[in-house]
């Protein structure tokens, strides 16, 4: 009897030492049984039982290639995006884990084929059956190194999920392909430890604040509630993301005086541009982080064009700082005003990639009889760049395409376009299409710019055409590829019919090609009136069916053309063996009644032989200061300069850089000029012609010059036939 009692006592003690619930054990899964457990080999939706716990997953499959990582033969592959996406990618427990959540761990690595397109993911826990989720530990972005996620939840009741870190705002319906996949293996979740310190946490009332539509210039504020537990450090608040500048916070931290507490912060959305904006509000105390996704849409009130600041005067111009401002400018001119007498200024480089259907700024789009809507203001690009603009239109009612469509009595300056595409049936350019009494100054069609007229005439690298009253294009360059099916295309200007139009100090580097006729390196075609081409250079290849010229392609009877101080080093070709071509102007295209005056113009003699209106020179001769002097032709203003690394060090009429030292050295000119207290003093008989700095800015000969480098042009003696130029250095006084 005593033995039986002893045995019973021992059995009772053994039972007391065992856990009260054998199911409340740590949980793990290594995916070697993934196929048997129902995870397929396609990234679909699966509801499965993994080692006794129900899980749901989307955009997940079991691994199956040499590009996958697996500790063994099989792992999970989770896609950041997939074709025809119907849900957010996730892997989530569908029930609370018996025994609670302790330490959560798993191994992960980028799927090799997607190594360069990874996104951030986060692990979250829920203590209320999935109603609310809290991020655990730090978000992670997989790389090709195998890493181990490790974070302690220590909640008595809860479940786990793995989702994209931007789950609150990710537009899964817009996903275009299978991408951003990573592998996950060896999941381990220990049980809740009753005696362990409770996990610090920051919980927000919402994981996403959607501000909806807010008009530019107005604000909307939402109050966010925050609850924190077991914290020992203050909570810092910060904003990140592309749209962060449009959101603000009423405070940048919460002071934590007790481990547990509540707080509030006002979040304000103040859009300065039309379109959707996103940002992330991060709350951090030590290693504990919570994030709230912020979204809002900026809209414009009808008739309200505020831009990013300014009042439109010359002293306080409207400020253009983003793509929304440019869209607003287009819409304003299209619907309400020509901005005559108003001024604009760019404050940033602007990426237009997100803009898909903007009309040219100023246009006459629409059926016959539609009122012409020209832009008549002044725009200073302030040497900024507009990039990634695509304007592709079709149909006979959508002509006159460019960043600016029709400009009348306008001025556009100091602007560069890169990575832009312009296409229409006819009348296409990059900077401005149709010019009426306007100025284009120091504007550039830079790298990767295409101009294409599909069906009908007129295309230009900078502008399409000059009509009605004369316009000027000054100090502009084009690297655009200009392509057309019909007549009249030019590297700078396609066509001119406004008498007095002038193209000066311009360079075309781009290729100009038409399947028809009248292609020119600077101007394609002159219909009537007087055209001046002065101090210009063509370095692009020019091709047409039967009529093309290095500087001018064609001019009709009654036109008057003046081409001076210019040269061409671009190849000119025609497909018709009997066609007319020339390195300056196609001589065979001269007709009675056409006045052509070509002075001091040159071309690369290796590219042309035959009758020409210019003078052939060897390219090696052109790459010299003597050739630059020829082009400058004794003028007091030095237009043509040679810069290190520019145009293969041949002379150019515009631009900045390090001037090649082909000028007389200051020491050799000492017998002619001296510098005294910043002023130029000349010897008897020496006559000063001009003074400029290396950027081309002119100074009066009697000026007191600041410290710097200058180029001085002078006649060395009475009766001298040729001026001399010298680079001088004015020392710091």
* pLDDT at residue 324 greater than cutoff 50: yes
Burial class (CB in 10 A: 0-12, 13-18, 19+), 135: buried
Burial class (CB in 10 A: 0-12, 13-18, 19+), 430: buried
Decide if 130 contacts 68 (C-beta within 8 A).
no
Beta strands in 497-618 (DSSP E): 501-504, 507-508, 512-514, 519-520, 523-526, 530-534, 537-538, 542-544, 547-549, 552-555, 560-568, 572-574, 580-582, 595-604, 615-617
278-322 pLDDT, tens digit each: 999 999 999 888 889 999 998 877 767 778 889 999 999 999 999
Q: List the single range of 181-185, 356-360, 520-524 with lowest mean pLDDT.
A: 356-360
Q: Which residue has the higher pLDDT, 309 or 47?
A: 47
> Token pair of 445, please?
């069609």
* pLDDT at residue 10 greater than cutoff 80: no
> Token pair of 123, please?
């692990």
Render the burial of 586-617: b for 16+ CB within 10 Å, e for the rest: bbebeeeebebebebbbbbbebbeeebbbebb
Q: Of 623, 730, 640, whose CA–CA distance to 679 is shortest?
A: 730
379-431 pLDDT, tens digit each: 999 999 999 999 999 887 778 899 999 999 999 999 999 999 999 998 999 99
Q: Of 216, 414, 214, whose CA–CA distance to 328 is shortest?
A: 216
- Write down the pLDDT at residue 16: 40
* Average pLDDT of every residue of the chain: 89
561-609 pLDDT, tens digit each: 999 999 999 999 999 998 899 999 998 888 888 999 999 999 999 998 8
- Write down the pLDDT at residue 267: 97
- Write down the pLDDT at residue 19: 39
CA dihedral 576, 579, 582, 587 (to 10 degrees): 180
Rg (CA), the chain: 36
C-alpha to C-alpha distance for 31 and 73, rounded to whole angstroms: 9
* pLDDT at residue 701 greater than cutoff 60: yes
For β-strands 261-269 and 247-249, DSSP reports them as: antiparallel
- In the chain, the domains with their CATH numbers are 27-189 (2.60.120.260), 202-299 (2.60.40.10), 318-617 (2.160.20.110), 659-730 (no CATH)
- Write down the pLDDT at residue 1: 45
Q: Of 365, 358, 414, 427, whose CA–CA distance to 389 is shortest?
A: 358
Q: What are phi and psi of 407, to 5 degrees?
A: -120, 135
* pLDDT at residue 9 greater than cutoff 80: no
Q: Which of 11-20, 458-467, 585-594 has the highest mean pLDDT?
A: 458-467
Q: List the single range of 71-80, 146-155, 301-310 with lowest mean pLDDT.
A: 301-310
- Residue 256 DSSP SS3: coil
What are the DSSP calls for 4-38, one per residue? HHHHHHHHHHHHHHS-S-TT-S-EEE-STTTTTTT
Residue 428's DSSP bridge partners are: 401, 459
- Write down the pLDDT at residue 666: 54
- Write down the pLDDT at residue 23: 36
Q: Of 192, 137, 189, whose CA–CA distance to 29 is shortest?
A: 189
* pLDDT at residue 136 greater than cutoff 50: yes
Burial class (CB in 10 A: 0-12, 13-18, 19+), 335: exposed
The stretch 549-572 carries a mean pLDDT of: 95
* pLDDT at residue 460 greater than cutoff 90: yes
- Write down the pLDDT at residue 367: 55
Q: Which residue has the higher pLDDT, 14 or 271?
A: 271
92-102 pLDDT, tens digit each: 999 999 999 99
Q: Using a CB cutoff of 8 Å and minimum separation of 24, what contacts does 696-703 make?
A: 696/637, 696/638, 696/639, 696/641, 696/654, 698/637, 703/679
Write down the pTM of the prediction: 0.60
């Amino acid at each position: 009897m005593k033995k039986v009692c002893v045995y019973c006592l021992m059995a009772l003690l053994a039972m007391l030492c065992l856990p009260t619930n054998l199911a409340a054990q740590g949980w793990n899964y290594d995916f070697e049984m993934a196929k048997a457990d129902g995870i397929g080999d396609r990234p679909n939706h699966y509801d499965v039982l993994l080692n006794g716990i129900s899980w749901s997953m989307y955009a997940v499959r079991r691994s199956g290639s040499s590009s996958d990582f697996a500790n063994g033969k099989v792992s999970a592959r989770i896609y950041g995006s997939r074709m025809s996406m119907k849900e957010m990618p996730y892997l989530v427990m569908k029930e609370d884990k018996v025994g609670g959540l302790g330490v959560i761990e798993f191994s992960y690595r980028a799927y090799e084929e997607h190594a360069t397109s990874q996104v951030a993911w986060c692990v979250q826990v829920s203590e209320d059956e999935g109603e609310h989720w809290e991020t655990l530990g730090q978000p992670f972005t997989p790389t090709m190194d195998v890493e181990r996620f490790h974070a302690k939840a220590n909640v008595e009741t809860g479940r786990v999920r793995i989702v994209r870190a931007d789950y609150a705002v990710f537009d899964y319906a817009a996903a275009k392909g299978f991408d951003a996949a990573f592998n996950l293996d060896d999941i381990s979740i220990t049980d809740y430890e009753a005696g362990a310190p409770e996990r610090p946490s920051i919980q927000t009332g919402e994981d996403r604040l959607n501000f909806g539509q807010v008009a530019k210039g107005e604000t909307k504020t939402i109050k966010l509630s925050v609850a924190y537990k077991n914290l020992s450090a203050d909570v810092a608040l910060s904003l990140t993301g592309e749209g962060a500048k449009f959101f603000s916070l009423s405070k940048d931290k919460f002071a934590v005086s007790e481990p547990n507490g509540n707080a509030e912060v006002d979040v304000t959305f103040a859009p300065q541009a039309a379109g959707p904006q996103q940002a992330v509000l991060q709350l951090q105390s030590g290693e504990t982080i919570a994030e709230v996704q912020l979204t809002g849409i900026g809209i414009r009130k009808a008739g309200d064009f505020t831009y990013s600041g300014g009042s439109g005067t010359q002293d306080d111009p409207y400020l253009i700082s983003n793509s929304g401002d440019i869209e607003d400018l287009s819409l304003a001119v299209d619907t309400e005003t020509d901005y005559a007498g108003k001024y604009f200024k760019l404050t940033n480089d602007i990426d237009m990639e997100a803009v898909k259907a903007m009309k040219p700024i100023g246009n006459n789009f629409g059926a016959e009889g539609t009122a012409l809507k020209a832009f008549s203001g002044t725009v200073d690009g302030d040497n900024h760049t507009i990039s990634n603009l695509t304007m592709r239109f079709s149909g006979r009612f959508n002509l006159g395409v460019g960043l600016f469509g029709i400009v009348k009595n306008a001025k556009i300056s100091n602007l560069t376009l890169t990575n832009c595409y312009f296409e229409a049936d006819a009348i296409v350019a990059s900077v401005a299409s149709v010019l009426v009494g306007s100025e284009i100054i120091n504007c550039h069609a830079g790298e990767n710019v295409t101009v294409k007229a599909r069906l009908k005439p007129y295309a230009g690298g900078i502008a399409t055409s000059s009509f009605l009253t004369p316009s000027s294009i000054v100090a502009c360059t084009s690297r655009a590829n200009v392509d057309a099916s019909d007549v009249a295309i030019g590297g700078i200007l396609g066509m001119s019919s406004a008498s007095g139009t002038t193209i000066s100090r311009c360079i075309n580097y781009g290729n100009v090609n038409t399947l028809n006729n009248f292609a020119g390196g600077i101007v394609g075609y002159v219909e009537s009136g007087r055209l001046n081409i002065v101090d210009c250079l063509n370095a692009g290849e020019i091709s047409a069916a039967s009529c093309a010229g290095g500087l001018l392609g064609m001019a009709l009877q009654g036109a008057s053309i003046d081409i001076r101080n210019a040269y061409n080093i671009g190849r000119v070709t025609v497909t018709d063996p009997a066609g007319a071509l020339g390195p300056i102007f196609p001589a065979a295209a001269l007709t009675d009644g056409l006045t052509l005056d070509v002075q001091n113009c040159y071309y690369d003699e290796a590219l042309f032989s035959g009758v020409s209106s210019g003078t052939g020179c060897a390219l090696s001769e052109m790459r010299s200061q003597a050739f630059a002097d020829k082009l400058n032709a004794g003028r007091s203003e030095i237009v043509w300069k040679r810069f290190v690394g520019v145009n293969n060090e041949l002379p150019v009429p515009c631009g900045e850089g390090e001037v090649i030292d082909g000028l007389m050295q200051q020491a050799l000119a000492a017998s002619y000029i001296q510098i005294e207290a910043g002023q130029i003093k000349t010897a008897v008989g020496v006559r000063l012609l001009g003074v400029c700095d290396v950027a081309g800015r002119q100074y009066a000969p009697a000026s007191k010059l600041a410290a710097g480098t200058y180029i001085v042009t002078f006649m060395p003696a009475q009766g001298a036939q040729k001026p001399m130029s010298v680079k001088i250095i004015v020392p710091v006084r």
